[in-house]
Amino acid sequence: MTIDVPQSILDDLTDVDMPRLANEPASDESVTIDGLGLPIYRYGCVIVGSGAAGLRAAVELKRRGDDVAVVSQSAWGGTSACSGSDKQTLHTANTADHGDDFRAMARAIRAGGSMDEDTAYVEAVGSARMMASLQFMGLPLPQERLGGTLRYQTDHDEVGRATSCGPRTSRLMVKVLAEEAIRLQVPIYNQTTAVRILTADEGSRRVVGILVSRSADRSDANPLGLAIFRCNVLVLAAGGPGELYRDSVYPNGCFGSLGLALEAGIELVNLTESQFGIGTRREGFPWNLSGTYVQAMPHIYSVDDEGREHHFLADYYRTTQELASNVFRKGYQWPFHSTRMLGFGSSLVDLAIYRESAAGRRVFMDFNRNPLTVEGDQAFSLERLDDDVSRYLGNAGATQELPIDRLAHMNPLAIELYRRYKIDIAIEPLEFAVNNQHMNGGVMVDVWGQSNLSGCYAIGEAAGTHGVTRPGGAALNAGQVFGTRAAEHIAASGNARSAPSVDPDNLGIVELGQLQHVIRADSPIAMKSVRAEVQARMSDRAGIICDPTGVSSALREAGALNANICANGIAYGHAAEAVRAAQWQQMALASEAVLAALDHYIRDGGGSRGARTICDPAGDDAPTTKSGVLEEFRFRRERAEHKAEQIVVRFDGSAIQVTTRPNRFLDETQKSFFERDWPDWLTGRIYAA
């Protein structure tokens, strides 16, 4: 039996066309700085990033009557529009035939530690509203006949809070939000890259705008297309630092805004926390291989330089049943986690793939073969699987003979997606690796999305609202919740009601000088060399396997690279390369910040948690294979006290400063009371610090 879904429906859920952008409003004024005529665009609020979070903030601000515009390096080209965000984790109004409560969901969101308790509650309580509003805008979240939302279990989720529109869930979110933003006539400036945040000190330091590079504003008098977007409020929503790692499942060209924020003195938090897992390489079609891809239990193997196949997982697991069952579990235990390497768990799969790649072998999954037999054991059989695996496949009706047939039954969209990119997994094996997928850290914000820089907010992956772990799909929910929360706070302040008409003295002069110091046509430092050095260092020494010596030496090298860039800049050939050079300077700075936080954590006795294993010969645990203990991967355990704090990073203009702060606490015994608390809503006191 296979799912009988017409091809036209599969096409609509796979080929998601984005709306056509309206014409960009032109600038009618300019300012001359250092001989360059820079156009000025004025808005009450400017949002950097056109993904799901940024568009949510734009829509909510416009509905409240605020003056808002979006600037985007590549509209519909970011992570939420292009990557494999295939699920949305929501309040469980239809789980196990009874409801969830917000505090239980908040506890699940923050369960990994190093997350503010009030933030987790904000994300939980805002979830139902986000789902309803997305459905109102047209997001086709699946329902049962009586109206309950269809849900399933995902990573770090024991309840089953995830739902999905298919592999293009996040792109469909971007589409409905983009259509609403265009309907509301929100200006969206495409091919517009933010390169510096503009600030002024008028009693206190605050945002006054951003310096951008725009292809539409290039001219003989302004060859780099530099322009100023003057605003009272700035929202950073440009996603995560996808270019930070060589082994990455982000779409190409995703730089995020961590370096941009660091240069403006904005504090970042939890940069030690990322997600890594299996996915196809970014050189082809980058995509996560979670969910039904692995729940179909394809045969996983490697190929050496001479073309010989290696059934390498058989060297790790004791039985064919154990091997196949843990491949299946990667479906809802997708992110690598050090503790899941123990006891022949599912992250032993990641470690094995990591070691094959490090040995120079290419790794594939073949959907036309079941897992091969572990030597000395019986052959693969659907009758010999762990109970949780058998139960799931039985409920799903996925009892077909071959993985490709089981996948076609459970999720035909998974096959259609790769076909769109000229990869037919029904015919040919799929090459993949362990890749970086998500930054859980980012700009440190309060419960309204405010950073430490007055007038600057951060939402989506740009914000460091996640802790060590989070339920799969919770990041999409967080971006929607905080996009709305930031808009509510901005609207309540009145700061974005209209565009600023009076400019501070020396607007953009310092920031333009800083930019010109970095991008130099005659620099001896090539942009490609910066990219290669940063990505290799992060993938090789700050990926899923780390050790104290390797991280410390990587930090010293990152500092030396940034000192060299500071002294000599980065070379470029043409205007587009100049923008990239500026972004690679910021990425090099962000790399040093991540390594500084990681080094601080390790030197403080930090152990393995979340994305990374901290190897130590004196460590507490080591993964075991059927051949014995892997002593080279002996690792430290996480210390309980580190769950209660967060690592804060700040760039003071010359050096990275690292401190810690305790998680914000939420008193779950405190209850709201209507008559007592309603005046705070009516008067706007809920928006106070």
Of 648, 643, 666, 645, the C-alpha closest to 658 is 648
Sign of CA dihedral 492, 497, 501, 505: positive
Whether residues 201 and 349 share a domain: the answer is: no
Asked whether the predicted pLDDT for residue 158 surpasses 80, the reply is no
End-to-end CA distance of the chain: 58
Within-domain flag for 141: yes
Asked if the structure places residue 483 within a domain, the reply is yes
So what's the pLDDT on residue 89?
A: 65
Q: Give the residue carrying structure tokens 């509650």.
A: 121
Please check whether residues 65 and 111 belong to one and the same domain. yes
Question: How many whole angstroms separate alpha carbon 415 and alpha carbon 5?
Answer: 13
| Residue 188 near residue 214, CB atoms below 8 Å | no
Task: Tell me the whole-structure pTM to 2 decimals.
Answer: 0.94
pLDDT at 16: 83
Q: What is the mean pLDDT of residues 560-589?
A: 96
Distance CA 15, CA 70 (A): 25
pLDDT band at residue 308 under the 50/70/90 scheme:
very high
Pairing, β 430-439 against β 442-443: unpaired
Taking CA atoms, 161 is separated from 96, 128, 144, 391, 471, in Å, by 11, 12, 15, 19, 9
> Cβ atoms within 10 A of the Cβ of 319, count?
17
pLDDT at 96: 55
Domain assignment of residue 4, yes or no: no
516/610 same-domain check:
yes
Q: Is there a domain that residue 311 lies in? A: yes
Helix H or strand E encompassing 135: helix 117-137
Q: For 571, which DSSP code? A: -
Half-sphere exposure of 461 (CA within 13 A, CB side): 26
Does 225 lie in the same domain as 141?
yes
pLDDT (average), residues 329-351: 94
Q: What is the DSSP string of 648-687?
A: EEEE-SSSEEEEEEEPPP--TT----HHHHHHHHHHTGGG
Q: How far apart are CA 133 and CA 127, in angstroms?
A: 10
Per-residue confidence (pLDDT) for residue 86, from 0 to 100: 57
Nearest to 520 by CA among 565, 560, 562, 559: 565
pLDDT above 80: residue 540: yes
Return the percentage of the chain with pLDDT > 90, whole number. 77
**Tokens at residue 497, please?**
């009601």
Query: Both 428 and 529 in a single domain?
Result: no
Report the percent of the chain where pLDDT is more than 70: 96
Give me the pLDDT at residue 77, please: 81
| Mean pLDDT to the nearest integer, 32-46 | 95
- On average, the pLDDT of the chain sits at 92
Distances (CA, A) of 450 to 80, 257, 516: 22, 15, 30
- pLDDT exceeds cutoff 50 at 1: no
Q: Is the pLDDT of residue 382 over 70?
A: yes
602 lies in which domain range? 509-662
Is 143 found in the same domain as 106? Answer: yes
**Do 288 and 199 share a structural domain?**
no
Specify the pLDDT at position 90: 65
Residue 242 shares a structural domain with residue 293: no
Looking up residue 234, the CATH number of its domain turns out to be: 3.50.50.60
d(Cα 638, Cα 273) in Å, to the nearest integer? 13
- Is 18 contained in some domain? no
CA gyration radius, the chain: 25
Q: Is residue 308 exposed (0-12), middle (13-18) or buried (19+ Cβ within 10 Å)?
A: exposed
- Please state the domain count of the chain: 3
Question: Are residue 432 and residue 472 in the same domain, yes or no?
Answer: no
| Tens digits of residue pLDDT in 84-133 | 555 566 666 555 555 678 888 899 899 999 999 999 999 999 998 998 99
Q: What is the pLDDT of residue 101?
A: 83
Q: Tell me the average pLDDT across 404-432.
A: 92
Question: Starting from the edge strand earliest in sequence, which strands make up the sheet with 645-651, in order?
Answer: 442-443, 268-269, 645-651, 656-662
Q: 233-236 and 45-48 as β-strands: parallel, antiparallel, unpaired?
A: parallel
Residue 473 has pLDDT above 80, yes or no: no
AA letter at 464: G
Distance CA(689)–CA(462), nearest Å, equals 21
Lowest-pLDDT range of 414-423, 605-614, 640-649? 414-423
Model pLDDT for residues 173-210, shown as the tens digit of each residue = 999 999 999 999 999 999 999 999 999 997 789 999 99
Are 56 and 140 in the same domain? yes
Q: Mean pLDDT across the stretch 507-536?
A: 96
Side chain identity at residue 576, one-letter code:
A
pLDDT value at 665 more than 60: yes
Say how far apart CA 475 and CA 406 lie, in whole Å: 29
CA distances from 305 to 104, 211, 252 (A): 51, 48, 27
- Give me the pLDDT at residue 84, please: 58
Asked, for residue 498, whether it belongs to a domain, the answer is no
257 and 335 together in one domain:
no
Please check whether residue 318 lies inside any domain of the structure: yes
Antiparallel, parallel or unpaired: β 545-546 and 188-189: unpaired
Out of 404, 420, 436, pick the residue that ends a domain: 436
pLDDT at 281: 81
Residues belonging to the chain: 689
Q: What is the mean pLDDT of residues 269-275?
A: 95
Residue 410 has pLDDT above 50, yes or no: yes
Q: Average pLDDT of 451-479?
A: 91
pLDDT higher than 60, residue 640: yes
- Per-residue pLDDT at 91: 62
Look at residue 561 and tell me if it is in a domain. Answer: yes
- CATH assignment of the domain containing 599: 1.20.58.100
Residue with more model confidence, 93 or 326: 326
Note whether 652 and 264 are within 8 A (CB). Answer: no
Whether 167 and 293 share a structural domain: no
End-of-domain residue from the set 408, 436, 464: 436
Most confident of 165-169, 301-305, 669-673: 301-305
